[in-house]
C-alpha cells in the first residue's frame, strides 16, 4: 500500500515539475520578463527545497514518515495552485501594442508611406496605447506569486524521496529494494507523460480562453508572441498532488508491527496522558530527547562528511546533475528557437517519445542490478559505463546546430542584403527610413524572399489584404530591394519557417535525445542505490537529504 501511495506522489511530483519546465517560455512572455528571471523563478523550487531538506531527512526519519510525506504532497499542491493564481488577477494578455486586428475590408487597400501599423488596429481610442513603454499589460510584479508558489512546491517535495526511499529500504525484503526503487522511478515517469500531453494541449489554447472572443485573436501557436493557457497545468497538478496526499495519513509508521499491538500501545499512551505526574515526566524526557536529537544530528552529519566515498559521490553527481538541470530547463526554448518548433510540438515530442524511454531505462537499471546481484563496485562500474555512453551521445548535438535565422534588423540589414556584426542599434535602410516605425515593436512577418522582418512597417509594406490570421502584406519596399524576379513583394504574418536541412537535423536531434535518455535513466536508478549502500543504514535518509541539499544549492 505504501509503495502504491508513494508511486502516486512520485507521479504528482514529476507532473508538477514538468508543468513548470514546459511553462517557462509561456511565463516569460506572459509576465514580460527576461529569460534569466524566468530561470530564477524555475530555480525557486530548489531554493524552497534546500531550506528544509536536511532537517526533514534527519528528524523525519525518526517521526511518522508516511504522514510527513502526506503533508509534503499537500504543500506541493497548494504551491501549484498559488502559482496559477496571478492569471485571475492580471487582466488580459496583449501580444502587441495594439489590441486586435480589424481591417475594414477584405481587399487590398492603398496606404500612405508605411503607415500600415496605424491601420491594423487596431482601434486606437486612447493616446496611452501608442505611448512607448505601454507594450504589455502583463509587465508587472505578479511573477512573485509564481516564484513563491514554486518555492512552496519545493518545500512540499522535500520529504518524498528521502523518507520514501529509506522507508522502502527499511521494510522491503532483502535484495528487493533495487527492483522497487527502479519500478518506483519508472512509474513516476507517468507524471511527465501526463504533463507533456496536457502541456501540449494547454499550449495550443490561448491564455485568456473563456474570457475573450478567440475569433479576434490574429496570432497562432506558431507565433513567437503566443502564450498558451499555462495556468491550467498548475491547477491540474495542484489538485492531483492534494489528492495523492490522502492515503499517507492512513498508513502506519511501522508496517511490520501487528495492528493489535499498535492499538494496545495507543491505549496505553492514552492512559498515561491522563496521569499528570507522568505527563510532567514525559515533558522532561522530551526535552532531554530533543537535546540528544540535535547532538545526534551534528554527529551524524560529521560521520557523513568524513565518509570519503560519499563525498566523492556527491561531487560527481553535482557535475552530472548541474549539466542536466541547465539543459532540461531550457530544452523547450532551445527546440523553439533552434528548430522553429512551436511550444505544443516541443512538449508533445519530448513527452510521447523521450519520457517512455526514460521510464524504460530506470526500470532496466534496477532490474540489471537485481538480476546480476551487482556488488558496490559492480554498481559503480555500471554507473561509469552508462555515463561514458551518455557523454559520447551528447557530443553529437554540436553538428546538429542550425544556422542563425535570417531576420532583417537582427542578423541582416533591413534591406536583407548584408549581415550585421551586432543586433544592437541596426541602422534603418533607405527602404524604411521614411516609414516612421517603432524599432522596438515585435510583430514578425515573413517575406516571400524567406527573410523575417520585425514588423510590417520595418519591412516597408504599404498595403494588405485578408483578415486576422490570414493577413497578407503587399508592396513591401524592403522585400523588393532583395532582387526578387517575380516583383510580387509580399509578406504574411509570423516568422519564416526553418529550411529542410534544419528540419532533418531536428529529427536526428530527437532520435539522439531518445537514445541518450535510455542510458542516462539507466544510470539514474544506480545513483540512488549507491547512496544507501555507501553509508551506515541509520544515515540513509540524512545522506539522501544532504545530497539533495548540495545539488539544489550549487
379 vs 9, 367, 373, 454, 523, CA distance in Å? 27, 12, 9, 54, 9
For the chain, helix (H) and strand (E) counts, in that order, are 20, 7
Distance between CA atoms of 355 and 331, rounded to whole angstroms?
14
Q: Which residues contact 484 (CB under 8 A, 6 or more apart)?
A: 448, 449
pLDDT at 262: 40
Q: Do the strands 407-408 and 445-447 form a parallel or antiparallel pair, or are they unpaired? A: unpaired
Q: Are 73 and 245 in contact (CB under 8 A)?
A: yes
Q: Which residues of the chain have pLDDT under 70?
A: 96-140, 174-175, 256-293, 467-469, 481-488
Strand 472-474, strand 491-493: pairing: antiparallel
- Strands of 445-447's sheet, edge to edge? 109-110, 463-465, 472-474, 491-493, 445-447, 452-453, 407-408
Alpha helices in 222-258 (DSSP H): 230-245
Residue 222: φ, ψ to 5°: -80, -15
Write the DSSP symbol of residue 418.
S
Helices (H), 246-354: 259-273, 276-305, 308-329, 331-339, 343-349
Q: Give the bridge partners for 400, in sequence order.
A: none
Helix (H) or strand (E) holding 167: helix 160-171
Residue 516 to residues 218, 323, 450, Cα–Cα distance (Å)? 39, 14, 34
What's the pLDDT score for residue 123? 38
| Residues 62, 546 contacting (CB under 8 angstroms) | no
Tens of pLDDT, residue by residue over 170-201, are 777 766 777 787 788 878 888 888 888 898 89
Return the biggest CA–CA distance within the chain.
Answer: 101
Determine contact, residues 151/45, Cβ cutoff 8 Å: yes
Q: Strand 452-453 to strand 445-447: parallel, antiparallel, or no bridges (unpaired)?
A: antiparallel
Burial of 366 (0-12, 13-18, 19+ CB in 10 A): buried
What Cα–Cα distance (Å) separates residue 282 from each residue in 274, 279, 304, 307?
12, 5, 32, 36
Q: Are 187 and 6 in contact (CB under 8 A)?
A: no
> Would you call 323 helix, strand, or coil by DSSP?
helix
Count, residues in the chain: 554
Please tell me the distance from the alpha carbon of residue 348 to that of residue 193, in angstroms, as a whole number: 9
Provide the terminal-to-terminal Cα distance of the chain, rounded to the nearest Å: 36
| pLDDT for 76 | 95
CA distance 460 to 477: 5
Residue-wise pLDDT for 434-471, tens only, equals 888 888 888 889 998 889 999 898 998 888 887 656 78
Q: By C-alpha distance, which of 197, 209, 188, 198 is closest to 236?
A: 198
Buried b (16+ CB within 10 A) or exposed e, 309-319: ebeebbebbee
DSSP string, 13-78: HHHHHHHHHHHHHHHHHHTT--HHHHHHHHHHHHHHHHHHHHHHHHHHTTS-HHHHHHHHHHHHHH
- For the full predicted model, state whether its pTM sits above 0.85: no
Task: Give the three-state DSSP class for 342.
Answer: coil
- Cα–Cα distances in angstroms (integers) from residue 482 to residues 386, 434, 468, in the given order: 51, 18, 27
Amino acid at each position: 500500500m505504501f509503495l502504491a501511495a508513494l508511486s502516486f506522489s512520485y507521479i504528482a511530483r514529476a507532473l508538477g515539475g514538468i508543468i513548470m519546465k514546459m511553462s517557462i517560455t509561456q511565463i516569460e512572455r506572459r509576465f514580460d520578463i527576461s529569460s534569466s528571471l524566468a530561470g530564477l523563478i524555475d530555480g525557486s523550487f530548489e531554493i524552497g527545497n534546500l531550506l528544509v531538506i536536511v532537517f526533514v531527512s534527519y528528524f523525519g526519519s525518526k517521526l511518522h514518515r508516511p504522514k510527513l510525506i502526506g503533508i509534503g504532497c499537500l504543500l506541493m499542491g497548494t504551491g501549484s495552485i498559488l502559482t496559477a493564481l496571478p492569471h485571475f488577477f492580471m487582466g488580459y494578455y496583449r501580444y502587441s501594442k495594439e489590441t486586435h486586428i480589424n481591417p475594414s475590408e477584405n481587399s487590398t487597400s492603398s496606404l500612405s508611406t508605411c503607415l500600415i501599423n496605424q491601420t491594423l488596429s487596431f482601434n486606437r481610442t486612447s493616446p496611452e496605447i501608442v505611448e512607448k513603454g505601454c507594450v504589455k499589460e502583463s509587465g508587472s510584479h505578479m511573477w512573485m506569486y509564481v516564484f513563491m508558489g514554486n518555492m512552496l512546491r519545493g518545500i512540499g517535495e522535500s520529504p518524498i524521496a528521502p523518507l520514501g526511499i529509506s522507508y522502502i529500504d527499511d521494510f522491503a525484503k532483502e535484495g528487493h529494494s533495487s527492483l522497487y526503487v527502479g519500478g518506483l522511478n519508472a512509474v513516476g515517469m507517468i507524471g511527465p507523460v501526463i504533463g507533456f500531453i496536457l502541456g501540449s494541449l494547454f499550449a495550443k489554447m490561448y491564455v485568456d480562453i473563456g474570457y475573450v472572443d478567440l475569433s479576434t485573436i490574429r496570432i497562432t501557436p506558431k507565433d513567437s508572441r503566443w502564450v498558451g493557457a499555462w495556468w491550467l497545468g498548475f491547477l491540474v497538478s495542484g489538485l492531483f498532488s492534494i489528492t495523492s496526499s490522502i492515503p499517507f495519513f492512513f498508513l502506519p509508521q511501522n508496517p511490520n508491527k501487528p495492528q493489535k499491538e499498535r492499538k494496545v500501545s495507543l491505549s496505553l499512551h492514552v492512559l498515561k496522558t491522563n496521569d499528570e505526574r507522568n505527563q510532567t515526566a514525559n515533558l522532561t524526557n522530551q526535552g532531554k530527547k530533543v537535546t540528544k536529537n540535535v547532538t545526534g544530528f551534528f554527529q551524524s552529519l560529521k560521520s557523513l562528511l568524513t565518509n570519503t566515498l560519499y563525498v566523492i559521490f556527491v561531487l560527481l553527481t553535482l557535475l552530472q546533475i548541474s549539466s542536466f538541470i541547465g539543459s532540461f530547463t531550457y530544452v523547450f526554448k532551445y527546440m523553439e528557437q533552434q528548430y522553429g518548433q512551436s511550444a505544443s510540438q516541443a512538449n508533445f515530442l519530448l513527452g510521447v517519445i523521450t519520457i517512455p524511454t526514460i521510464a524504460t531505462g530506470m526500470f532496466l537499471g534496477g532490474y540489471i542490478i537485481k538480476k546480476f546481484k551487482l556488488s558496490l563496485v559492480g554498481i559503480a562500474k555500471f554507473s561509469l559505463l552508462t555515463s561514458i555512453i551518455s557523454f559520447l551521445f551528447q557530443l553529437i548535438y554540436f553538428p546538429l546546430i542550425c544556422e542563425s535565422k535570417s531576420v532583417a534588423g537582427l542578423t541582416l540589414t533591413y534591406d536583407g542584403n548584408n549581415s550585421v556584426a551586432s543586433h544592437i542599434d541596426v541602422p534603418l535602410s533607405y527602404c524604411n527610413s521614411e516609414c516612421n516605425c517603432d524599432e522596438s515593436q515585435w510583430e514578425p512577418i515573413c517575406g516571400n524572399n524567406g527573410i523575417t522582418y520585425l514588423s510590417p512597417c520595418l519591412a516597408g509594406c504599404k498595403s494588405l489584404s485578408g483578415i486576422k490570421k490570414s493577413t497578407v502584406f503587399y508592396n513591401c519596399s524592403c522585400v523588393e530591394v532583395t532582387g526578387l524576379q517575380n516583383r510580387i513583394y509580399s509578406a504574411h504574418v509570423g516568422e519564416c519557417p526553418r529550411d529542410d536541412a534544419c528540419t532533418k537535423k531536428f529529427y536526428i536531434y530527437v532520435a539522439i535525445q531518445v537514445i541518450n535518455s535510455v542510458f542516462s535513466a539507466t544510470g539514474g536508478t544506480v545513483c540512488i542505490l549507491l547512496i544507501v549502500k555507501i553509508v551506515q543504514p541509520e544515515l540513509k535518509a540524512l545522506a539522501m537529504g544532504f545530497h539533495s541539499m548540495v545539488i539544489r544549492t550549487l
